[in-house]
Each structure stands twice: as C-alpha cells, then as structure tokens.
Amino acid sequence: AFVCLLLCLSWGSSCPLSCQCTGQAGAKAMVCSARHLEEIPKDIPQDTAFLKLDTNSITRVPSNTFWHPSHLEEFDLSRNTIEKINGAAFRGVAAALHTLDLSSNRICSVPKEALLTLNAKLHLANNPWHCECTLQEVLWEARLDPSSVQDITCHMALQEEYVGKSLLQVLDAGVNFCSVRERTTYVAMFVTMFAWFAMVIAYVVCYVRHNREDTHRHVEYLKSLPRSQNPAE
C-alpha cells in the first residue's frame, strides 16, 4: 500500500518532458508553449492549476481529455490549429476552470454542450466561425471575455451579406440565426411533403392511364373476334 501511494504521489507531481512545471502562488503551473505539440499531453499532473499549451500544432480536443478530477483553473489553447472540439472535451475541468482561451485557432463550429457547461470566461476570437444558431446560443449564454467579443467574426454564414462582419454587430442588427434555421427546416419539410404528394399524384395518373390503355386494347381485341352466325340463317 505504501509503494502504491508513493507511485501515485510521484505520478501526480510529475511533469511531461516537453513541458516546464513550476509553482505559482501555491499552485502548479505547467507551461508547454511553442513545443511543436500535435495533441494535448496525456500525462498532465492532477494538481496542475495553470496550463499553457499555446502556439503549438494541436488540431483537436477529444472527449475526456481530463479523465480524472482536475483543479485546473486557467487553460490556454490559443494559437494552435484546433478544428474540432468534442462535446465532452472539458468534462473533467468544468467545476474549477475560470479561464479558457481558444482564440486564434481554426474552429468553425463547436458543440454548445462543450462550452455551456463551463463557468469559465471564454476567449473565442480570431477563429473562422460559421455564424449559425449554435454560435449565437453560445454568445448569449456563455461567459465570454468582453474584450474579445467584437473579434468573433463571421467567416461563413447562411447569408453572404454577413460574411466578414462581427457576430455581435450582426445580432445587434436584429438577425436571429436560430429563427432562420427554423424557417429553413419548415421549408425543407414543405418541399419534402410537396415532392411526396407529387409522386403520389404521378403514380395515380400513371395507374389510371395504364388501366385505360389495357381496357382499350381489350375492347379492340373483342371487336376483332369473328361474330358467331345465327343457326336459323
């Protein structure tokens, strides 16, 4: 039991070789900036409170990145090449996290459950965002850093006129991407129903025409048969 406890303690206080771990105000800071990392290290000490993974080549934040309870308070993932964030990416750090920096990545969209479960202040600026309902809900419900909200820009949008504009500016103009999605859904349902109705009508028309042609051929066939002569004649 003593050996197991010793191993656990040494694991909890270890530091990945590519990083530098220091004490900061009684808490551990793990700095892995500009270390050419392509993924988040799996051996992050459990007592890490400040984690800097900025300026690397990390492309995704998978589910359960922090599978054990964590005391992480500040998490910097800025200036990477992140494109995908899983909905359960920050599950292990939701309780303690105060700041999450995802700025200057390649994020187009993110599952809202990944961010709305956090009480952390979010930095989302300078990403090629696709302005749609999910991002709008994140802007309304999440805790965003006020200084970076203006830099959340629409790189893509359903309407070309919003491309290149600040999302906050677009929403202040009265645009509601969620209602646009609802209208799009209703239009798609209407088109589908219309197509189904047209197929039914086309089938009925073909069926009637086919029966009419069969009836006409049968009548012509009966007319072509020789008539039976009267015995009295």
Render pLDDT for 168-190 as a digit per residue (tens, 0 to 9): 899 888 899 888 544 445 445 55
Domain regions of the chain by residue span: 20-176, 178-217
Give the number of other Cβ atoms within 10 Å of residue 168's Cβ: 15
Q: What pLDDT is attached to residue 12? A: 44
Helix boundaries (H) for the chain: 2-12, 112-116, 133-141, 167-172, 177-224
The residues facing 28 across adjacent strands are 23, 48
Q: Higher model confidence: residue 205 or residue 44?
A: 44
Which residues does 72 contact at the CB level (< 8 Å), separation at least 6?
48, 49, 50, 51, 66, 93, 96, 97
The answer to whether residues 150 and 166 touch, using CB atoms and an 8 Å cutoff, is: yes
Looking at beta carbons, which pairs linking 66-70 to residues 24 or more positions away fall under 8 Å?
Answer: 66/90, 66/91, 66/92, 66/93, 67/92, 68/92, 70/44, 70/46, 70/96
- Work out the average pLDDT over 26-45: 90
The CATH number of domain 20-176 is 2.60.40.1930: no
Q: Give 17's pLDDT tier (boundaries 50, 70, 90).
A: confident
Which residues does 144 contact at the CB level (< 8 Å), separation at least 6?
121, 122, 123, 124, 152
Q: What pLDDT is attached to residue 162? A: 92
Q: How far apart are CA 3 and CA 76, in angstroms?
A: 35
State the residue for tokens 């209208």.
Answer: 183
- pLDDT at residue 225 is higher than 50: yes
Terminal Cα distance for the chain, rounded: 123
Q: What pLDDT is attached to residue 4? A: 40
CA 9 to chain centroid, in Å, comes to 38
- pLDDT at residue 2 is higher than 50: no
- Work out the average pLDDT over 112-140: 92
Q: What pLDDT is attached to residue 57? A: 97
Q: Higher model confidence: residue 121 or residue 220?
A: 121
CB-side exposure of 23: number of CA atoms within 13 Å? 3
What the block records as the tokens of 190 is 């209407």
pLDDT over 90, % of the chain = 41
Render pLDDT for 54-67 as a digit per residue (tens, 0 to 9): 999 999 999 988 86
Q: DSSP labels for 4-46?
A: HHHHHHHHHT---TTSEEEEETTEEEEE-TTS--SS--S---T
Which of 66-75, 163-172, 198-207, 222-231 has the weakest average pLDDT?
222-231
Q: What pLDDT is attached to residue 204? A: 78
What is the amino acid identity at position 188? A
Q: Give 1's pLDDT tier (boundaries 50, 70, 90).
A: very low
Calculate the average pLDDT of the chain.
82
Specify the pairing of strand 121-123 against strand 48-52. unpaired
- Work out the average pLDDT over 200-224: 74
Q: What pLDDT is attached to residue 11? A: 40
